[in-house]
Structure 1
């Protein structure tokens, strides 16, 4: 069996516990779990949010037996709407966590009784009178339910609430700090009880209160929600509500499994929460974790943070300093070896060359780096780490997500998929196989961000190189014929002259003038006249092979310079031009014929020789040829 889990913010306690519940049951059953996750929040820019949430467009849900959707962790309505639509179109069973969608099975946790019980406790046990509420994001279902339950508890107890003491947070500690600062600046008495919609915001509030000189719980009662690790191991321990998140994940998986296997189940299930009254509201801490267990966890976490923070810091410098994609891959391999996940796949969008089309331009590195607004039709994997060894894999359709050889079905494996992007520019995705890095490490997502930033740095460098290259070409190349213009020719010709002097070789200078350009312009228009000139440039480029410098000297005039020529070799070169002109005229389909008059000179070069003088000599030879042509045509007329 194969299921997808669509969830945001996997590194946070609540989502982590839900995933632990899902995986505990799924792995035991031999079910393969594919976790698509991102880290977009309400404070993120729209561009960053688009880049993060693009990961949810990646899975082809028709390839899965079922899906678990935690829509309340993705704060973009349009993304959720598209996901709901995709799930319905896939016609596979879906368990929706905490949010009800028509046609989907629902499993959630009680929010109302938790906050309601907290408020009643503060009122009845601690005699709180003046409340403030720090909410989660405005359109988040959990935070909305907690806010409504808070208001109902006050109303049922006939306690008025001043709406100025309401603040929208984002579940992060910093928003808890900002909320307390906002309450402090309001005129009137400071609240004696602050209810936060989660423990992280409660902790942020605690440290801002301490900064302002308020003691918890002596002067301000403080509560949170979710019974997160940071809250229950804090001093004072945060009064909170423990939700059965691990149980939710386990039961959601079991219900999905039963539906897939054809067993019937209830469409809605709501699990009860558990109130925990402890030190931050002035109660006795009867459920504190054993000190030895707490100390061991603190030491383990400290060691992990110390080690991983060094990896994150060093990799940031090494990744962004890599001048080419190949060197970036080498640096990523080095750090992946240090981190040593079970499996790691760096999957990149295959982008055809779209802006570096100029001839003879070499891009930085061996792989094209360009950003898209969505995943490319084809993916490649330049970096794979599995079984302690590195490998790579070529192109495959994006619908496959990973090639079949890397996803052996029915083994109880799990894969976490995160986006590679910079703002709304999509580069690909990373897959972490059979590893809890994205769940258990607060810092691993920063490591992925370092890769993102390095890819963007390479893209910008590649763009800059392309622009510089184009500017250089505009300066030294004729844009119509793609041979040198005067600036380019006069820049490189002295080198050729000095080589000829050093090697005591002749200089060959050919002057070519098109025949009949004026009549083409007059009869067919200047666009055809340009095509006439361009065709000659193409012929001279194609015959370039012995170090010749080719220049468009004027409107319909070209100059070719080379060295180590004899009269015989010069005559052979002119014959090749004439044959190419004849071949062009036979295949072009034009009513007019391409033609040219050519003259050349062979010169023993000297140091003080002027380039214009050399060209003038060849020009005079060409003029003799053109004059002779005209005489022959005149004599042929009746």
Structure 2
């Protein structure tokens, strides 16, 4: 059964429990409605460097919203303000239905919980124990959920006429480590309170852990509460009292709202209920020995699993860092990827990165075209369940993943950035029946692959620079293929050896159609672009063993001792198809095509190099005349 439509999901922090459970709910409803889901996600948080955040957030720019029927935007998971604003701008520009999580966005439907009411109930619960003073740990001021929860605390303090000096607000960033840092700051200031209400579970867990290290008992000396209802609050000792919000239900219902808007055009706001989940850290519940035993068993099993995972990831990292070519790296990843995921995995590289690593084209031009964005042309290869030499195929980045649109893919796609700091290398796609319990592990091995690619890119740049200095005299400065000097260096000896050893040799002569017209009507820059695309098509079709030479202004010569005439016909068809595809993808205002002829030197044929080239040229001219007749 074909999918009824395609939905894009924007979400950050995909290795966190809240996000993975949202995804579970979204996917469950999408399957019921027979919709395909594309999740664009990264691991950009406030605790990592600005350049790394830029590299992570770049994945959102990949989404071509003109191809989607709607968007689910986990607004509350994306920290960086400009990134969030740009996503909202693009949703408005696309004019498609969209649902926002927890934050009101003009023109978008809304789903969430009543953060104010939930936090107020938590604070009143803690206050009912007679704990004074109570301190509050908020997050970054740019986060709307944190601000609402903080206001609930501040309103409570004001209504109770409590002193704001005693009822202090501290700030973290939602992370475990920031909970640790807040406790250290309180200890240094001599202001350990009787109770600590945290804006989320991670900071509560970090605070509890640090308090115990400093010799405090929870809840006997200080009560601690969280917010979110994560699994870790139940596995920690003592269990953390928290606000349990219905994460999977939120995801499921968000998808419902979006489908209703797609059908009716009506926007909605829906606030779901949540509840205070009482455990041991507030002093309400005595220690549950069964839960403690279960938590210890779970922690032990997780420890053993993490030890195994750490060994595998380090082994993979060591092997990848030894790779000296892109093919070696792909082989290495193929051998290891099955240890981390059962989904189909694809690596997509920017054209400039792929060209650098494969030694194609002009090194000067490559360095100029490397950008911090996704380039128009992307090269893709599959990383698992593949035998033989790695094969890369090109497509335009606006397609994102061609299989998604031609029916070969499944209904779930996970897009993740491949980058080194703010240098955009490409992206990874996982598709299949996504197992969200494995998602938290993806970040480490994807980052290791990114680092290995960056190292290989740097090695390739040095190797290519040395090669190009050596080949400077025989390389065409515009296209990077050999110039006519390359004939003297390489082809003369090939012909001599073929004549002597009575071997076959294939000469392919290609001439661009209508280059003069392109120059006259669109300028010489357009003509140079057409020449470069023609050279690129030849490089795409032929492997490194074949010599590609720019023979004249718009003429190219290919010489091969491995191909036969049947394969030459296949190459002609491939080149013609590539040029047509690129003309369409690049939206060129001119026709992009080549006339191609070839001559095969048989074992018993012996002639001069010039004669072989002339024979191939004659066949090309015959083809050019034929093409002209067909265009009339």
CA deviation after TM superposition for structure 1 residue 370, in Å? 8.7
Look up the SS of the partner of 1:442 in the other structure. Answer: helix
In 2, Cα distance between equivalents of 1:93 and 1:360: 43
| Equivalent position of 1:171 in the other structure | 174
In 1, Cα distance between equivalents of 2:387 and 2:411: 18
2:144 paired residue among 141, 146, 155: 141
> Which 10-residue stretch deviates more, 459-468 or 324-333?
459-468
Distance 1:316 1:83, change over 3 A: same
| Equivalent position of 1:400 in the other structure | 399
Q: How does 1:491-502 map to 2 (within 5 A)?
A: none
| Equivalent position of 2:204 in the other structure | 202
| Equivalent position of 2:604 in the other structure | none
Q: How does 1:216-295 map to 2 (within 5 A)?
A: 216-262=218-264, 264=266, 267-284=268-285
Look up the SS of the partner of 2:112 in the other structure. Answer: strand
1:83 aligned onto 2:81: no
In 1, Cα distance between equivalents of 2:172 and 2:213: 19
In 1, Cα distance between equivalents of 2:18 and 2:142: 18
Look up the SS of the partner of 1:443 in the other structure. Answer: helix
| Equivalent position of 1:18 in the other structure | 22
Distance 1:386 1:88, change over 3 A: farther
Distance 1:289 1:99, change over 3 A: farther
1:165–1:183 contact (8 Å) kept in structure 2? no
Rg (Cα) greater in structure:
1
Look up the SS of the partner of 1:458 in the other structure. Answer: helix
Q: How does 1:179-190 map to 2 (within 5 A)?
A: 179-186=182-189, 188-190=190-192
| Equivalent position of 1:41 in the other structure | 45
For structure 1, the 5+ residue unaligned runs are 478-638
1:30 aligned onto 2:34: yes
Q: What is the TM-score with the length of structure 2 in the denominator? A: 0.68
2:446 paired residue among 448, 453, 456: 448
- Aligned residue-pair number: 472
1:421–1:452 contact (8 Å) kept in structure 2? yes
1:332 aligned onto 2:333: yes
1:361–1:469 contact (8 Å) kept in structure 2? no
For structure 2, the 5+ residue unaligned runs are 475-632
Superposed CA deviations along residues 466-496 of structure 1, whole A, max 9, x for unmatched, are 556678899x99xxxxxxxxxxxxxxxxxxx
Superposed CA deviations along residues 170-215 of structure 1, whole A, max 9, x for unmatched, are 22111111110011111x4421111111111111111111111111
Q: What is the TM-score with the length of structure 1 in the denominator? A: 0.68
2:224–2:241 contact (8 Å) kept in structure 1? yes
In 1, Cα distance between equivalents of 2:360 and 2:240: 66
CA deviation after TM superposition for structure 1 residue 353, in Å? 9.0
In 2, Cα distance between equivalents of 1:360 and 1:415: 32
In 1, Cα distance between equivalents of 2:51 and 2:257: 36
Distance 1:287 1:345, change over 3 A: farther
1:134–1:195 contact (8 Å) kept in structure 2? yes
In 2, Cα distance between equivalents of 1:84 and 1:173: 29
CA deviation after TM superposition for structure 1 residue 371, in Å? 5.0
| Equivalent position of 2:155 in the other structure | 152
Distance 1:67 1:222, change over 3 A: same
In 1, Cα distance between equivalents of 2:389 and 2:182: 48
| Equivalent position of 2:320 in the other structure | 319
CA deviation after TM superposition for structure 1 residue 323, in Å? 1.8
| Equivalent position of 1:376 in the other structure | 375
Distance 1:3 1:332, change over 3 A: same
CA deviation after TM superposition for structure 1 residue 344, in Å? 0.6
1:55 paired residue among 55, 59, 73: 59
In 2, Cα distance between equivalents of 1:163 and 1:313: 48
Q: How does 1:289-438 map to 2 (within 5 A)?
A: 298=299, 301-351=302-352, 372-385=371-384, 392-404=391-403, 408=407, 413-436=411-434
